[in-house]
Amino acid sequence: MKTVLTQCKRIVVKVGSSLVTNQGAGLDLDALGNWAGQIAALNASGHEVVLVSSGAIAEGMQRLGWNTRPTSIHDLQAAAAVGQMGLVQAYESCFRKHNLHAAQVLLTHGDLVDRERYLNARTTLTTLLSLRVIPIINENDTVVTDEIKFGDNDTLGALVANLIEADVLIILTDQSGLYTADPRKNPGATLVSEARAGDAQLENMAGGAGRSIGRGGMITKILAAKRAARSGAHTVIASGHERDVLLRLLQGEAIGTLLTATTLTLAARKQWLADHLQVAGKLVLDSGAIKALRSGGKSLLPIGVKSVSGAFERGEVVACVSEDGSDIARGLVNYNADEARLIAQHASQEIETLLGYGGDAEIIHRDNLVLL
């Protein structure tokens, strides 16, 4: 565990309702202050941290005087709308004590299946991290329906880890980690300290949800780890009641259960691009651009694109070819086809004048491009 986690820079931390509320009786401000303090320390040491926090519905329930979680989607949306105000205000106050700002980001499943919205969400989050702002993410419970809701913040944490290509997803709960059986029912159950994410045996070990305030159980955490591993992110499931748990984990201390990903983060993304059989369009590159990609590890700039073919939208996979038609690369394009035609063979500084707005300097960023 020590070797894996000490090398992680970009981190998604998910805290459940039981760790940010007084067992459903509103927000626990001391607990929120504790998370803010640990995240601030990680931020100061060069880590990039995104926090996926439950608690909005629980806080809304408390403010509305409801003792049990409602089942009606409309009541849940109302509770979330009321509670989100208190949750974000509390986090902003806690982070301000460490001279940091927090930002609220609410997501739905639709934001992550639509490629353009996916790229917009990714760009917003990476920009916030570059500004040393702490994104506080939650499901957009005020607008979701049964068809598009994530269902639990463990899944949301995994999707965010995929979105920003995090090195590790840390799921904090009120359990010590994954056990070989439910320790509440089987006193002989032992803690699984390390395993491979996606191992089918893990799902057999995991039990169901155990609390009335939150939605997830151990099985959702195991499935989240499996999902996070697809983009190369490791997952740790640990108790949020452990003192300074985030700091100790990133220092390499063995706490909870580590579920390792077998694919490196960038390699997973590159492999997905390389295996993408269907492309939505084609960019013909000049010799200078090809040399920059192959020998310099550079992004593809518009000035190196000689022509554009196809009808594609921002975020779709396009082929990059030489003037004689040889395959050079594939990548996720930052502009739609019409925009790409307008800026082709122009310097990046001219993009705003040509399009009427300032977009990305690259047609394809090097992180979203794989050489063939």
Residue 220: which CATH number? Answer: 3.40.1160.10
- Co-location of 261 and 309 in the same domain: no
For residue 131, the model assigns a pLDDT of 96
Do the domain assignments include residue 271?
A: no
Per-residue pLDDT tens digits for 170-200: 999 988 998 888 777 788 889 999 999 988 8
- Co-location of 206 and 353 in the same domain: no
Residue 130 banded pLDDT, cuts 50, 70, 90: very high
Per-residue pLDDT tens digits for 87-103: 999 999 999 999 999 99
- Co-location of 346 and 207 in the same domain: no
For residue 36, the model assigns a pLDDT of 97
- Co-location of 188 and 330 in the same domain: no
The CATH number that applies at residue 282 is 2.30.130.10
Both tokens assigned to 171: 């799921």
Residue 363 pLDDT > 80: yes
For residue 266, the model assigns a pLDDT of 59
What are the CA-CA distances from residue 90 to residues 20, 78, 94, 97 (Å)?
11, 19, 6, 11
For residue 339, the model assigns a pLDDT of 96
- Co-location of 251 and 350 in the same domain: no
- Co-location of 18 and 114 in the same domain: yes
Do the domain assignments include residue 313?
A: yes
pTM (2 d.p.) = 0.77
For residue 144, the model assigns a pLDDT of 67
What are the CA-CA distances from residue 74 to residues 57, 77, 88, 114, 192 (Å)?
12, 5, 21, 25, 39
Single out the residue in 215, 242, 266 at which a domain terminates. 266
Residue 214 pLDDT > 50: no
For residue 58, the model assigns a pLDDT of 84
Q: Which position has the token pair 């509103």?
A: 26
Cα–Cα distance, 193 to 245 (Å, whole number): 15
- Co-location of 201 and 259 in the same domain: yes
- Co-location of 177 and 311 in the same domain: no
- Co-location of 298 and 229 in the same domain: no
Do the domain assignments include residue 325?
A: yes
At what angle are helices 29-44 and 73-96 packed, to 10 degrees?
60
Q: Nearest-5° angle of CA 175, CA 181, CA 216?
A: 45
Both tokens assigned to 296: 């310099």
Among left, alpha and beta (phi > 0; psi -120 to 50; other), residue 12 is beta
Residue 26 pLDDT > 90: no
Round the CA-based radius of gyration of the chain to a whole number and report it. 22
Residue 211 banded pLDDT, cuts 50, 70, 90: very low
Residue 55 banded pLDDT, cuts 50, 70, 90: confident
250: domain range?
A: 2-266
Please state, rounded to an integer, the average pLDDT across all residues of the chain. Answer: 87
Per-residue pLDDT tens digits for 276-306: 567 889 999 999 999 999 987 899 999 999 9
Single out the residue in 266, 292, 321 at which a domain terminates. 266
Do the domain assignments include residue 227?
A: yes
pLDDT greater at residue 158 or residue 200? 158
- Co-location of 202 and 317 in the same domain: no
- Using a pLDDT cut of 90, give the percent of the chain over it: 54
How many C-beta atoms lie closer than 10 Å to residue 235's C-beta? 30
For residue 151, the model assigns a pLDDT of 62
Helix (H, G, I), strand (E, B) or coil at 261: coil
Give long-range contacts, CB 8 A cutoff, 24+ apart: 187-191: 191/256, 191/257
Residue 312 pLDDT > 50: yes
Residue 210 banded pLDDT, cuts 50, 70, 90: very low
Single out the residue in 213, 234, 266 at which a domain terminates. 266
Domain count, the chain: 2
For residue 174, the model assigns a pLDDT of 86
Do the domain assignments include residue 324?
A: yes
- Co-location of 85 and 207 in the same domain: yes
- Co-location of 49 and 127 in the same domain: yes
pLDDT greater at residue 273 or residue 292? 292
Nearest Cα neighbor of 135 from 43, 41, 204 is 43
